[in-house]
Amino acid sequence: MDEVFKALADASRRSLLDRLHARNGQTLNELCDGLAMSRQAVTKHLAILEAANLVATHKHGREKLHYLNPVPIHEIGERWIRKFEHGKLAALSTLKRQLEKRDE
Protein backbone atom coordinates (compact mmCIF):
# COMPACT_ATOMS: atom_id res chain seq x y z
CA MET A 1 0.00 0.00 0.00
CA ASP A 2 2.97 2.24 0.59
CA GLU A 3 3.75 2.19 -3.12
CA VAL A 4 0.27 3.47 -3.91
CA PHE A 5 0.51 6.36 -1.46
CA LYS A 6 3.96 7.26 -2.77
CA ALA A 7 2.73 7.08 -6.35
CA LEU A 8 -0.16 9.42 -5.52
CA ALA A 9 2.14 11.89 -3.73
CA ASP A 10 3.26 13.55 -6.97
CA ALA A 11 1.09 16.07 -8.77
CA SER A 12 2.37 15.05 -12.21
CA ARG A 13 1.42 11.45 -11.55
CA ARG A 14 -2.00 12.41 -10.25
CA SER A 15 -2.43 14.46 -13.39
CA LEU A 16 -1.58 11.42 -15.50
CA LEU A 17 -4.21 9.41 -13.66
CA ASP A 18 -6.69 12.24 -14.21
CA ARG A 19 -6.01 12.17 -17.91
CA LEU A 20 -6.43 8.42 -18.11
CA HIS A 21 -9.62 8.80 -16.15
CA ALA A 22 -10.82 11.29 -18.75
CA ARG A 23 -9.77 9.05 -21.64
CA ASN A 24 -8.51 5.56 -21.06
CA GLY A 25 -6.01 3.72 -23.23
CA GLN A 26 -3.73 6.58 -24.26
CA THR A 27 -0.26 6.10 -25.70
CA LEU A 28 2.89 7.44 -24.08
CA ASN A 29 3.15 10.28 -26.58
CA GLU A 30 -0.44 11.29 -26.03
CA LEU A 31 0.16 11.42 -22.29
CA CYS A 32 3.22 13.61 -22.85
CA ASP A 33 1.26 16.40 -24.55
CA GLY A 34 1.16 19.57 -22.52
CA LEU A 35 3.08 18.18 -19.56
CA ALA A 36 6.11 20.51 -19.45
CA MET A 37 8.65 17.70 -19.14
CA SER A 38 10.48 15.28 -21.37
CA ARG A 39 9.06 12.01 -22.65
CA GLN A 40 11.54 10.10 -20.49
CA ALA A 41 10.34 11.85 -17.36
CA VAL A 42 6.78 10.81 -18.18
CA THR A 43 7.99 7.26 -18.81
CA LYS A 44 9.45 7.18 -15.31
CA HIS A 45 6.25 8.47 -13.76
CA LEU A 46 4.23 5.88 -15.64
CA ALA A 47 6.62 3.16 -14.48
CA ILE A 48 5.99 4.19 -10.89
CA LEU A 49 2.23 4.14 -11.46
CA GLU A 50 2.57 0.73 -13.07
CA ALA A 51 4.65 -0.61 -10.16
CA ALA A 52 1.90 0.59 -7.82
CA ASN A 53 -0.60 -1.27 -9.99
CA LEU A 54 -2.46 1.93 -10.73
CA VAL A 55 -1.83 1.66 -14.46
CA ALA A 56 -1.73 -1.40 -16.70
CA THR A 57 -0.17 -1.33 -20.15
CA HIS A 58 -0.72 -3.18 -23.36
CA LYS A 59 1.65 -3.11 -26.31
CA HIS A 60 -0.02 -2.66 -29.65
CA GLY A 61 2.54 -2.59 -32.43
CA ARG A 62 4.96 0.19 -31.74
CA GLU A 63 2.54 1.90 -29.38
CA LYS A 64 2.16 1.31 -25.66
CA LEU A 65 -1.36 1.85 -24.42
CA HIS A 66 -2.02 2.83 -20.82
CA TYR A 67 -5.09 1.82 -18.83
CA LEU A 68 -6.19 3.08 -15.46
CA ASN A 69 -6.67 0.51 -12.73
CA PRO A 70 -8.89 2.11 -10.07
CA VAL A 71 -8.70 -0.81 -7.63
CA PRO A 72 -5.75 0.37 -5.48
CA ILE A 73 -7.32 3.83 -5.15
CA HIS A 74 -10.53 2.22 -4.07
CA GLU A 75 -8.68 0.08 -1.53
CA ILE A 76 -7.03 3.12 -0.01
CA GLY A 77 -10.45 4.65 0.29
CA GLU A 78 -11.83 1.55 1.95
CA ARG A 79 -8.98 0.55 4.22
CA TRP A 80 -7.55 3.90 5.16
CA ILE A 81 -9.62 6.98 4.43
CA ARG A 82 -12.90 5.61 5.79
CA LYS A 83 -11.22 4.65 9.03
CA PHE A 84 -10.54 8.32 9.69
CA GLU A 85 -14.00 9.40 8.62
CA HIS A 86 -15.43 7.11 11.22
CA GLY A 87 -15.32 9.03 14.46
CA LYS A 88 -14.65 12.23 12.57
CA LEU A 89 -17.14 14.22 14.56
CA ALA A 90 -15.72 12.98 17.84
CA ALA A 91 -12.19 13.91 16.79
CA LEU A 92 -13.32 17.34 15.68
CA SER A 93 -15.07 18.12 18.91
CA THR A 94 -11.98 17.10 20.91
CA LEU A 95 -9.86 19.24 18.63
CA LYS A 96 -12.18 22.22 19.02
CA ARG A 97 -12.36 21.85 22.78
CA GLN A 98 -8.59 21.68 23.15
CA LEU A 99 -7.84 24.54 20.83
CA GLU A 100 -10.27 26.70 22.76
CA LYS A 101 -8.10 26.24 25.83
CA ARG A 102 -5.79 28.77 24.20
CA ASP A 103 -8.15 31.44 25.45
CA GLU A 104 -8.15 30.35 29.06
Partner DNA sequence: ATAATAGGCAACCAAATGGTTGCATGTCAA
Partner DNA sequence: TTGACATGCAACCATTTGGTTGCCTATTAT
Q: Which positions lie near DNA, rule CB under 7 A?
A: 6, 9-10, 12, 27-29, 36-41, 43-45, 48, 61-64
Give the integer Cα–Cα distance in Å for 39 and 37.
7
Distance, in Å, from the CA atom of 54 to the CA atom of 48, rounded to the nearest integer, reads 9
For residue 57, what are the β-bridge partners? 66
- Minimum Å gap between C-beta 45 and a copy of itself is 14
Q: How far apart are CA 72 and CA 74, in angstroms?
A: 5
One character per residue 75-94, x = contact with a copy of itself (rule: CB under 8 A): -xx--xxxxxx-xx--xx-x
* Of residues 66, 59, 55, 49, the one with CA closest to residue 6: 49
Out of 45, 58, 61, 79, name the contact with a copy of itself by CB under 8 A.
58
Pairing, β 55-60 against β 63-68? antiparallel
Please, what is the minimum distance in Å from the beta carbon of residue 74 to DNA? 23
Residues that bind a copy of itself (CB under 8 A): 2, 5-6, 8-9, 11, 14, 17, 21, 24-25, 56, 58, 60, 65, 67-71, 73-74, 76-77, 80-85, 87-88, 91-92, 94-95, 98-99, 101-102
